[in-house]
Structure 1
Amino acid sequence: MDTGMEVIIFLAYAAGLLIIFLLARFFAFSGRFLLKIVINSFCGGIVLIVINLIGTGFGIHLPVNICTGFGIGTLGVPGIVLLYLISG
C-alpha cells in the first residue's frame, strides 16, 4: 500500500471519530433540551385544556394540538397570549 494512501485512510478514520464525538456531544446536550421541551409542551397542553374549560363562558377557545402545545411549552405565558392574538 502506498504511504499517501495510508495517510488518507488515517485522516478518514480521524475525521470519522471526530464526527462521532461531536454527534455524541450534540445529542447529549439536545437530549436534555428535548426532554425539557416535551415536558413543557405537555404542561402547555394541560394549560390549553384548562383555558378552554374556563374560557368557554367568555367566548375564548384555543385549539389543542401539537403546534399550540409546543408554542405554549416553549414560550410559556407569552405563548398563550400570542396564540390568542393569532387565533383572532
Structure 2
Amino acid sequence: MNWWIVAGIVVLIVILLTKGIPVNFVKGSGQVVMKVTVGVLFLFFFNLFGASFGLHIPINVFTAIIVGMLGIPGIACLTAISVFVI
C-alpha cells in the first residue's frame, strides 16, 4: 500500500474526529441502504413466487436500487422489461 493512501486515511480520521461526522450524510446514506435492502427482499420474494409463472429478475445492485427507490412499480417495470425485451 502506498504511503499516500495511508496519509489520506489518517487525514480523514483526524478531520472526522475534530469536525464530527456530518449527520445529514449519515442519515441519507442510511436511508439509501435501507431502501436497497428492502429492494433486495422484494426481488427475492418476487423470484420465489414468480418462479411458478416463469418470471425471474436477477438480483444485483442495479435492480435492487430500482426496486428500492420505486417499490412495486419498479418490480412491474423490471418484469415488463424482462418479459417483453429480454
TM-score bin, normalised by smaller chain: 0.5 to 0.7
Pairwise CA RMSD: 1.6
State yes or no: 1:36 paired with 2:42. Answer: no
SS at match of 2:76: helix
Q: Which amino acid in 2 is paired with 1:87?
A: S
Which structure has the bigger radius of gyration? 1
Q: Which amino acid in 2 is paired with 1:32?
A: K
CA gap 1:30/1:86 in 2 versus in 1, 3 angstroms: farther
State yes or no: 1:65 paired with 2:67. Answer: no
Kindly state the Cα deviation for residue 85 of structure 1 after the two structures are TM-superposed. Answer: 1.4
TM-score, normalised on structure 2? 0.64
Which consecutive segments of 4 or more residues in structure 1 shift more than 6 A? none
Inter-partner Cα distance in structure 2 for 1:31 and 1:75: 22
Match of 2:70 among 56, 63, 75: 75
> Aligned residues: percent identity?
33
TM-score, normalised on structure 1? 0.63
Q: Which amino acid in 1 is paired with 2:31?
A: K
